[in-house]
């Protein structure tokens, strides 16, 4: 024996036993808390005041559909783009007056849900959203986000249209990228830009840390597109919604033909070029998993994800022709054809034939592309206004 039998050693064993007991107790309490939360909805009414910062090319159209359906089901008011606009002033900073119904005269008007594209500008958002609003957003790995932006905004973004390919762009981005053009917002640190921050700021540690802390303070929930189903589980818990409220089909996705796989060296260049987005993504991927671990634990998470996926399978078999997405030439109902952009084939769905009226209405809402759905809700909310004109539907 290294130590004579004496008080230091006894002390050690006592401490060890005590520590184990405390840990065991803490574990039991955790299980207890999870069981209590198992009912899920018991903690109060569903949250209905919501601001979703819709980032670009991050599965956010699918989240938008979820919010639109919830708003319609509960007759909630939406902060929709004013007049003939299709978004809330993007890429300029959001202003309250971009919202329909926010007049120069009269009392300030508040809305339940704000979720259309905008560049985040908190003081202006607060003018139209109630002070108990729940803020959330979604991020995607910036390498794949950039690849998606490149295909989608190829013809709209000068930095992209000047480059022969994404790999060429990444090999010499400064050749193509003029940072003083707002239309180049899609070409660098796009998510950082959407959050209202400067996409060209030098990547200094103190700057990055301070802004990550601000974003975290403003957005108590940041979802991760790569973990979409886990994201929906967490969102549902935070909003205290029903399972069906967060079940969705993937919207606005591209056909495989229009997705380019980037070689590893181009991926590394993308991370360096979009270093602010990369830091943002890494940070919120960590907080996302920490939140899941703290709230559910792995077993419960697996079971809730499985529940969600099963419900999606059931609805997909019920609603969708061939149970699969379709390209623009295959979609027979023009109202269900998604807007096409750049070099991307954006997919949508055909519904199955012979659905009864109630099922048809449910299925239509789940597959309705965002512009059409926005126009529909605009007319519901502002029946006296001229309906939104969705130009590509007329073509």
Ligand X SMILES: *[C@@H]1O[C@H](CO)[C@@H](O)[C@H](O)[C@H]1NC(C)=O
Interface residues toward ligand X, by CB under 6 A: 75, 77, 131, 141, 178, 180-181, 282, 285, 289, 327, 329-330, 345, 357
Nearer to ligand X, 40 or 158 (CB): 158
Question: Are residues 219 and 26 in contact, defined by beta-carbon separation less than 8 angstroms?
Answer: no
What are the start-end ranges of the E strands in 22-115?
A: 50-53, 113-114
Residue (247 or 266) nearer to ligand X, CB: 266
Q: Which two tokens stand for residue 105?
A: 């005269």
Strand partners of residue 52: 136
Minimal distance in Å, beta carbon 28 to ligand X?
Answer: 26
| Smallest gap from residue 231 Cβ to ligand X (A) | 12
Beta carbon of residue 67, minimum distance to ligand X (angstroms, whole number): 17
Which single residue is written with the structure tokens 């295909």? 151
Number of CB atoms found within 10 A of residue 265's CB: 11
HSE-CB of 31 using CA atoms within 13 angstroms: 7
Cβ 212 to ligand X shortest distance, Å = 15
The answer to whether 74 and 245 have CB atoms below 8 angstroms apart is no
Q: What is the CA radius of gyration of the chain?
A: 24
Q: Which is nearer to ligand X, 139 or 247 (CB)?
A: 139
Q: Are 137 and 120 in contact (CB under 8 A)?
A: no
C-beta closer to ligand X: residue 282 or 379: 282
Strand 221-224 relative to strand 113-114, pairing: unpaired
* CB nearer to ligand X: pick between 285 and 341: 285
Query: Rounded to the nearest whole angstrom, what is the least distance from the CB of residue 167 to ligand X in the complex?
Result: 21
Which run of H or E residues covers position 144? helix 142-152
Q: Residue 376 Cβ, how far from ligand X at the closest point, in Å?
A: 15
Q: Which is nearer to ligand X, 11 or 181 (CB)?
A: 181
């Amino acid at each position: 024996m290294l130590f004579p039998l004496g008080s230091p050693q006894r002390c050690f064993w006592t401490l060890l036993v005590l520590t184990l007991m405390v840990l065991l107790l803490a574990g039991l309490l955790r299980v207890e808390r999870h069981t209590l939360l198992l009912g899920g909805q018991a903690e109060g009414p569903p949250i209905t005041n919501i601001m979703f910062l819709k980032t670009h090319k991050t599965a956010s159209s699918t989240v938008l559909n979820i919010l639109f359906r919830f708003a319609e089901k509960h007759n909630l008011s939406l902060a929709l783009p004013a007049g003939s606009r299709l978004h809330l002033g993007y890429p300029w900073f959001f202003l309250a007056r971009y919202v329909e119904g926010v007049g120069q005269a009269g009392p300030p008007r508040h809305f339940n849900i704000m979720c259309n594209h905008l560049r985040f500008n908190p003081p202006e958002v607060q003018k139209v959203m109630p002070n108990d609003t729940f803020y959330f957003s979604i991020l995607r790995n910036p390498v794949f986000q950039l690849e998606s932006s490149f295909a989608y905004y190829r013809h709209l973004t000068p930095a992209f249209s000047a480059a022969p390919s994404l790999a060429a762009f990444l090999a010499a981005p400064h050749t193509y990228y003029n940072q003083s053009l707002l239309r180049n917002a899609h070409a660098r640190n796009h998510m950082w830009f959407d959050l209202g921050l400067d996409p060209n700021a030098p990547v200094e540690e103190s700057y990055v840390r301070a802004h990550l802390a601000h974003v975290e303070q403003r957005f108590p929930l940041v979802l991760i597109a790569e973990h979409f189903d886990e994201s929906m589980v967490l969102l549902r818990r935070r909003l205290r919604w029903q399972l069906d409220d967060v079940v969705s089909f993937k919207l606005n996705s591209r056909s495989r033909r229009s997705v380019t796989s980037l070689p590893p060296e181009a991926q590394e260049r993308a991370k360096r070029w979009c270093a602010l987005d990369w830091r943002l993504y890494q940070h919120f991927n960590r907080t996302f998993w920490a939140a899941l671990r703290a709230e559910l634990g792995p077993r419960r998470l697996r079971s809730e994800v499985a529940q969600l996926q099963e419900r999606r399978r059931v609805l997909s078999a019920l609603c969708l022709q061939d149970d699969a997405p379709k390209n623009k030439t295959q979609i027979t109902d023009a109202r269900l054809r998604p807007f096409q952009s750049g070099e991307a084939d954006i997919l949508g769905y055909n519904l199955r034939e012979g659905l009864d009226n109630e099922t048809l209405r449910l299925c239509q809402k789940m597959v309705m592309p965002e512009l059409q759905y926005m126009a529909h809700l605009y007319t519901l909310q502002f029946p006296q206004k001229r309906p939104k004109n969705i130009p590509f539907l007329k073509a």
